Chain A
Amino acid sequence: MNLEYGPEYDRFRAEVRTFIERHRPLAPKAGGRAARASSEAVAWQTLLLEHGYTARTIPREYGGYGAEPDILKSRIIAEEFARAGVPGGLANQGISMLVPTLLELGTEEQKRRWIAPTLRGEIVWCQGYSEPGAGSDLASLTTSAREENGEFVVNGQKIWTSTARQADMIFCLVRTEPEAPKHAGISYLIFPMDTPGIEVRPLKTMTGHAEFNETFFTDVRVPIDQIVGRRGQGWFVANATLGHERGMLGDPDALENRLLALIKLMQEERVGSERALDNPVLRDRLVALQAEVAAMKYNGMRVLSNQLKGEPGGMAKLIVKLQSCELAHQISALAIDAMGEMGILYDGSPREREGGAWQWNYMFQLGLIIGGGTAQIQKNIIAERGLNMPREPRLEPSAATSRKEVA
């Protein structure tokens, strides 16, 4: 057990701290859930790109910093920005999911054209994966793309396309080979959102906001070279990015910051003259969550060590999405309980706490438990890949065929 990063890394940490302290006044207020970065956020992003505090290992010719991959340095950057309460680099779906995919599987032309402006926040992307009939069973998707005069003609519907209204571009899974087995008939297309035939309808959720959209395609024409990977290879391409998304949803710094916010709330929120923290039942729940956040923090350090040694993450990594999302949800739940009646104030009400953020988090985090691989799918993955338990028997071939016909 050695928790020292070593002198080289201590120096690097000091550099990052100095940078943050010196430039803090330029940092945008919050991480910013806004799909399109403000001019403030774009300037901040540019500064971070110049110093290698975001897109650190992406080659310079594609607009990154071009550093050698170094897990510890990346970790130090994340830790220091989180500790200082200053937003790090932009983390939208284009940067988190499309860019790694292009780096791995894109053509040279695609990399040169799309990665740099995406990193700079100039191009906003949305993700077209899920469909009303294809959620957990994503590979059963039916949005079609038939080839016609050197173009794909796309028809169908996507759902959960967050940022579709603001997006310039979409990366989208479509069925190009209807006769092939379901996993082998999918292709990964990228095309502009202002292409004729695309209609975006906001999808209002339980939070009262429309964090997502439905996106409809009617004879949307896409040049045939706007494909990532080969025809029929889209499932493989998409799985490269789903891994990145699952990584995104389990950030130990984020959990620690949520817990610190909860502690602060419980120190400030008063019932009569007593702080919420003085209530032994609430306090007991707080300590229980603190222990679990600590466990996830050290689990994250263990996963990091395994990565450093080039070992697979194993069970310690497989469980992160399931446990982190649930834990974040429980932290919000306790915050609401600590506020008592005040906990239900929302939507700009008088006496509302923190802009209703705890209620919004509580609801949205339930969405995160469901999204990006539901908790039940996560448990299948843990059981099958982590514990080597048998898969659910497949449907009889006749039943599977008839389902495909319906599709």
Chain B
Amino acid sequence: MDFGLSSEQQMLKDAVRRCLADNCPLDHVRARADAGSAVSEPAAAALHAMGLSGLMVPEAHGGLGMTLLDAAVVAEELGRAVAPVPFLARSVLAPLAFVLAGSDAQRAAWLPAIAAGEARFGVAILGIVETRDGSGVLAGEDGLSGTALFALDFEGANHFIVADDAGRLHLVNAEANGVERVALKTIDATRSVGELRFDAVPGESLADDGGAAGRRLRDAGRALLAADSLGAAEVMIEKAVAYAGEREQFGRVIGSFQAVKHMCAEMAARHEPCRALVWYAAHAFDAVPDEAALTACHAKSHTGEVHRFVARTATEVHGGMGFTDLLGLHYWFKRIGFDRQVLGGPDKVRAEAAQLQDWAAAAA
């Protein structure tokens, strides 16, 4: 019995942290944001050199064949560093899609290319969760038509995995005829999303499994967004505590005032159990499949709520400085905001959790 990270996972965590400290300091994050790009080439290259592009690619196809908990460890570090690096779609969900629903030929064609960093995927599965603004993708005889919103890791993607309205996954070349790509700007400058408009686009379908693979991608995505949020929130708490230990008012460091101390204690107290919940959700994805969907919902919704509290409270502890651009605290604030909303906000995810337990009829 050992509830926690293995020594290998701890080493992976430390290695990613060192890599990002060297290649992705806050000044660099800011420079990329100012340049309007959510992709840091040096950081992405350094992580690729560590083999992370093939993290979820089976060893038989040239990858590391790791688990979602390993990916969660990486996601947490990316959140800590507010790293503008494509990861969730490109290195986790896309290879998972092929593992779960790819034919032998598709796997052989695409998994090695993902591990090599040549096939750079974005993933658009929001349609599995909800439709907005008339979005939706129909797969007909003449190909894909319609609109897919919130394609993740949009910038720099040369291919996309897209879920149609029946939940089936399709592979689309970004340059294919009839594909229009429109970047969406969000609060979070460190990640890129976009919308895909299809007009009779020839796609290559993955297995018709009744939407099972798509739901697995959704669960994995939720667990990893929660892991990203975990890392970002932890940094915000650390920064708040450090600031409260330095900043003096009324002749004392403000961290000695109980009003401030208790804000920090509340953040820590609410945040700490999130770590065990996120680890369990990621672990369950591979090891306890029956619980994977529900724990992914719990991890996503609970971190969404707790880390919204952490983001605003840590900002408040910094006083006026927290509100400025000078400290860059807002990069973490916004990263947490992104993690909360994407693939279903807390209310939406809780409604799904209720359905999973037959507590409520499925929404129409």
Give A contacts to B, CB under 8 Å: 1-6, 9, 72, 277-278, 280, 283-284, 286-288, 290-292, 294-296, 298-299, 301-302, 304-306, 308-309, 315-316, 319, 322-323, 376, 378-380, 382-384, 386-393
Given B266, B274, B279, B351, which contacts A284 in the complex, CB threshold below 8 Å? B351
Measured between beta carbons, the chain A residues less than 8 angstroms from B280 are 294, 298
Cβ A1 vs Cβ B283 within 8 A: yes
Q: Which of B262, B266, B276, B277 has the most CB of A within 10 A?
A: B276
Q: Sort A-B residue pairs by CB-CB distance and give the 8 closest, nearest first.
A: A298-B276, A379-B265, A295-B273, A291-B298, A295-B277, A382-B265, A299-B273, A301-B3
Give B contacts to A, CB under 8 Å: 1-6, 69, 237, 241, 244-245, 252-253, 255-258, 261-262, 264-266, 268-270, 272-277, 279-280, 283, 287, 295, 297-299, 301-302, 305, 346-347, 350-351, 353-354, 359-360
Q: Can you show 10 pairs from A to B with CB atoms below 8 A apart?
A: A1-B6, A1-B279, A288-B350, A299-B275, A304-B1, A305-B1, A305-B4, A319-B272, A323-B269, A391-B256
A301-B3, A305-B4, A319-B269 given; A291·B283 CB < 8 A: no
- Closest approach, in angstroms, between the C-beta of A253 and any C-beta of chain B? 16
The chain B residue with its CB closest to the CB of A306 is B4
Measured between beta carbons, the chain B residues less than 8 angstroms from A390 are 245, 253, 255-256
Q: How far is the CA of A3 from the CA of B302 in the complex (A)?
A: 22
Tell me the dominant secondary structure on chain B's binding face.
helix
- Closest approach, in angstroms, between the C-beta of B165 and any C-beta of chain A? 25
Given B258, B270, B297, which contacts A392 in the complex, CB threshold below 8 Å? B258
Q: How far is the CA of A304 from the CA of B279 in the complex (A)?
A: 15
Measured between beta carbons, the chain A residues less than 8 angstroms from B269 are 319, 322-323, 378-379, 382
Measured between beta carbons, the chain B residues less than 8 angstroms from A388 are 241
A283-B360, A316-B276 given; A4·B245 CB < 8 A: no
Cβ B258 vs Cβ A380 within 8 A: yes
Q: How far is the CA of A299 from the CA of B257 in the complex (A)?
A: 29
The chain A residue with its CB closest to the CB of B260 is A389
Measured between beta carbons, the chain B residues less than 8 angstroms from A376 are 258, 262
A1-B2, A283-B360, A291-B298 given; A389·B273 CB < 8 A: no
Given B3, B69, B273, B347, which contacts A304 in the complex, CB threshold below 8 Å? B3
- Closest approach, in angstroms, between the C-beta of A41 and any C-beta of chain B? 32
- Closest approach, in angstroms, between the C-beta of B230 and any C-beta of chain A? 11
Cβ A305 vs Cβ B359 within 8 A: no
Given A9, A301, A378, A393, which contacts B276 in the complex, CB threshold below 8 Å? A301
Measured between beta carbons, the chain B residues less than 8 angstroms from A315 are 268, 272
Measured between beta carbons, the chain B residues less than 8 angstroms from A392 are 256-258
Q: How far is the CA of A192 from the CA of B252 in the complex (A)?
A: 49
A1-B69, A287-B353, A390-B255 given; A382·B4 CB < 8 A: no
The chain B residue with its CB closest to the CB of A6 is B1
Q: How far is the CA of A392 from the CA of B253 in the complex (A)?
A: 10
The chain B residue with its CB closest to the CB of A285 is B350
Q: How far is the CA of A299 from the CA of B277 in the complex (A)?
A: 7
Cβ B1 vs Cβ A3 within 8 A: yes
Measured between beta carbons, the chain B residues less than 8 angstroms from A308 are 1-2
Q: Given A2-B1, A299-B276, A319-B268, 15 other A-B contacts at CB below 8 A?
A: A3-B283, A283-B354, A286-B359, A291-B301, A291-B350, A299-B275, A299-B277, A323-B269, A376-B262, A378-B265, A378-B269, A380-B261, A380-B265, A383-B268, A386-B268
The chain B residue with its CB closest to the CB of A309 is B2
Q: How far is the CA of A284 from the CA of B305 in the complex (A)?
A: 13
Cβ B273 vs Cβ A284 within 8 A: no
Cβ A389 vs Cβ B244 within 8 A: yes
Given A288, A294, A386, which contacts B295 in the complex, CB threshold below 8 Å? A294
Cβ A290 vs Cβ B353 within 8 A: yes
Q: How far is the CA of A72 from the CA of B305 in the complex (A)?
A: 33
The chain A residue with its CB closest to the CB of B282 is A1
Measured between beta carbons, the chain B residues less than 8 angstroms from A387 are 237, 241, 264-265, 268
Given B244, B264, B272, B359, which contacts A299 in the complex, CB threshold below 8 Å? B272
Q: How far is the CA of A176 from the CA of B297 in the complex (A)?
A: 57
Cβ A319 vs Cβ B262 within 8 A: no
Cβ B270 vs Cβ A323 within 8 A: yes
Measured between beta carbons, the chain A residues less than 8 angstroms from B274 are 295
- Closest approach, in angstroms, between the C-beta of B279 and any C-beta of chain A? 7
Cβ A280 vs Cβ B360 within 8 A: yes
The chain A residue with its CB closest to the CB of B352 is A287
Measured between beta carbons, the chain A residues less than 8 angstroms from B266 are 379
Measured between beta carbons, the chain B residues less than 8 angstroms from A294 are 277, 280, 295, 298, 302
Cβ B1 vs Cβ A295 within 8 A: no
A301-B3, A391-B256 given; A292·B241 CB < 8 A: no
Q: How far is the CA of A3 from the CA of B288 in the complex (A)?
A: 10
Q: Which of A277, A302, A376, A386 has the most CB of B within 10 A?
A: A302
Cβ B265 vs Cβ A288 within 8 A: no
The chain B residue with its CB closest to the CB of A304 is B3
Measured between beta carbons, the chain B residues less than 8 angstroms from A393 are 252, 256
The chain A residue with its CB closest to the CB of B238 is A387
The chain A residue with its CB closest to the CB of B300 is A291
Q: How far is the CA of A331 from the CA of B298 in the complex (A)?
A: 17
Q: How far is the CA of A379 from the CA of B261 in the complex (A)?
A: 8
Q: How far is the CA of A289 from the CA of B276 in the complex (A)?
A: 16
Q: How far is the CA of A84 from the CA of B270 in the complex (A)?
A: 30
- Closest approach, in angstroms, between the C-beta of B291 and any C-beta of chain A? 10
Q: How far is the CA of A210 from the CA of B346 in the complex (A)?
A: 42
Given B5, B272, B360, which contacts A1 in the complex, CB threshold below 8 Å? B5
Q: How far is the CA of A391 from the CA of B261 in the complex (A)?
A: 9
Cβ B273 vs Cβ A1 within 8 A: no
Q: How far is the CA of A315 from the CA of B272 in the complex (A)?
A: 7
Measured between beta carbons, the chain A residues less than 8 angstroms from B360 are 277-278, 280, 283
Q: How far is the CA of A2 from the CA of B8 in the complex (A)?
A: 13
Cβ A389 vs Cβ B277 within 8 A: no
Q: How far is the CA of A315 from the CA of B255 in the complex (A)?
A: 18
A1-B279, A290-B298 given; A389·B262 CB < 8 A: no
The chain A residue with its CB closest to the CB of B298 is A291
Measured between beta carbons, the chain B residues less than 8 angstroms from A299 are 272-273, 275-277
The chain A residue with its CB closest to the CB of B258 is A392
Measured between beta carbons, the chain A residues less than 8 angstroms from B301 are 287-288, 291
